[in-house]
Amino acid sequence: MPKNLATRTSGAWLLGPALVAGVAYLDPGNVASNMTAGARYGYLLVWVVVVANVMAWLIQYLSAKLGVVTGRSLPEILGHRMKRPWARRAYWLQAELVAMATDIAEVIGGAVALQLLFDVPLLLGGIITGAVSMVLLAVQARRGPRHFEFVIIGLMAVITIGFMAGLFLAPPSPTGILSGLVPRFTDAGSVLLAASILGATIMPHAIYAHSALARDRFGRADSDAPGIPRLLTATRWDVSIAMVIAGTVNLAILLLAAATLAGVAGTDSLEGAYAALAESLGPVIATLFAVGLLASGLASTSVGAYAGAEIMHGLLRVRLPLLARRLITLIPALLILGLGVDPTLALVLSQVALSFGIPFALIPLVALTAKRSILGEYVNRRRTTVLGIVCAVLLIALNATLLVLLATGA
């Protein structure tokens, strides 16, 4: 076994990369999409959250497996396999636009949280969120992945408490939950929100990032190294824990909105939801919700910047310093905040944009992990590849349906 791998598999603590990538599933876009879905449609879209998290487990495991076995990230492998510069640049452009949509959601979410908690103007809140994220990225750059993981996992704990506290005072209806498990839509708006939930849950940048996080943690190794089976077992546990946490919190947000905010005017926005929670459940629950939103924005924007840097490095073979990239990607979000665009609407639409980037990340991931020339003996089993194809087809079909509905004004 290579020395690097032997060292990294000898410790008892192998979890972490999936928990960091899993923060992407708890970003402000998720909060806005799930809160809006519950407030507008009650329990109708519970099934979308459940299906999205089941699909996310498979997708994140495949991404992590690619990084563990090859010692390279998905963008690195794609950049190596795309021989024509124009193809790499075109692929990078769509991936970069997706990363920017992610940044928009996360910075806006942090800005809204600061306004709710401290009455900070949205533009200033966006600047503060960006500045704090730069501090977190400096931890990753200077102290290494383990310290970065500890910080992000700590923020994940704050997110979980903040978004789930309200359920103890306003338990959801068991009958409503069961009815929400039946797949169905009622109108174009419910399809739009379903696409938003999927875009917020199965995030393209998380697919790119997870393979890089696994590479950074476990290093490069020969595909026949004896430590890899142990790493893959630990990775399955890591992904399972991360997806259970993310899925539970996302479902809790929708259920809280369905139980408390359904039919209440103005609660399909984060500010309206905060005010309604304060009125119905008290200021403590509302404050915890805002704190969870702030932690969500800070953690997820740091992971998003990390993913964007990896996308650029892998596809363009250019590595910008993380902090410089953070400054550049703050611009679109700050422009939106400065122009006075409704922040909740911007969050939801950013998640719809993310859903259209999913196939560009998912199809290559499934294809690469099905190649024996890439993964050797760790290549996907046939049923795993089939399930990955099914996920991709379902996501593409939903996005195509959404486009038709929007085009016809249904």
| String of DSSP letters for 349-382 | HHHHHHHHHHHHHHHHHHHHHT-HHHHGGGPPPH
pLDDT band at 209 (very low <50, low <70, confident <90, very high): very high
The answer to whether 358 and 199 are in contact (CB under 8 A) is: yes
Task: Copy the structure tokens of residue 395.
Answer: 């996501």
- Among 29-33, 76-80, 152-156, 263-267, the range scoring the smallest mean pLDDT is 263-267
> What's the rounded mean pLDDT across residues 52-68?
94
Instruction: Determine phi and psi for 19, rounding to 5 degrees.
Output: -65, -35
pLDDT value at position 8? 47
| Banded pLDDT at 409 (limits 50, 70, 90) | low
Contact of 221 with 375, CB cutoff 8 Å:
no
Task: Say if residue 73's pLDDT is above 90.
Answer: yes
Is the confidence at residue 1, as pLDDT, over 80? no
Residue 407 is predicted with a pLDDT of: 67
Q: Give the pLDDT score at 183.
A: 94
Q: Output the CA torsion sign for 260, 266, 272, 278.
A: negative
pLDDT band at 4 (very low <50, low <70, confident <90, very high): very low
What stretches of 184-321 show up as alpha helix (H) in DSSP? 188-201, 204-218, 228-260, 270-281, 283-316
Which of 184-198, 205-219, 345-359 is least confident? 345-359
pLDDT at 327: 80
Higher pLDDT, 335 or 7: 335
Superfamily of domain 3-408: Amino acid/polyamine transporter I (1.20.1740.10)
Domains of the chain, residue spans: 3-408
Q: Is the pLDDT of residue 213 over 50?
A: yes
Percent of the chain with pLDDT over 70: 91
Closest CA to 234 of 78, 81, 8: 8
Q: What is the pLDDT of residue 123?
A: 94
Q: Which residue has the higher pLDDT, 220 or 241?
A: 241
Residue 144 has pLDDT above 80, yes or no: no
Percent of the chain with pLDDT over 90: 49
pLDDT digits (tens, 9 = 90+) for 277-289: 999 899 999 999 9
Each residue of 167-180: pLDDT tens digit? 998 899 999 999 99
**Of 87, 37, 46, which is closest to residue 251 (Cα–Cα)?**
46
**Nearest-angstrom CA–CA distance, 309 and 100:** 11
Work out the mean pLDDT of the chain and round it to a whole number. Answer: 86
Query: In terms of Cα–Cα distance, which of 167, 156, 194, 161 is closest to 297?
Result: 156
DSSP 165: G
Q: Which residue would you say has higher pLDDT here, 325 or 46?
A: 46
> Is residue 103 within 8 Å of 301, Cβ to Cβ?
yes
Predicted confidence at residue 408, as pLDDT, reads: 73
Distance CA 105, CA 57 (A): 22
Residue 44 or residue 31, greater confidence = 44
H or E segment to which residue 76 belongs: helix 74-81
- Widest Cα–Cα separation across the chain: 62
pLDDT interval class at 7 (50, 70, 90): very low
Please tell me the distance from the alpha carbon of residue 139 to that of residue 133, in angstroms, as a whole number.
10
For the stretch 182-201, pLDDT in tens is: 999 998 888 888 887 886 77
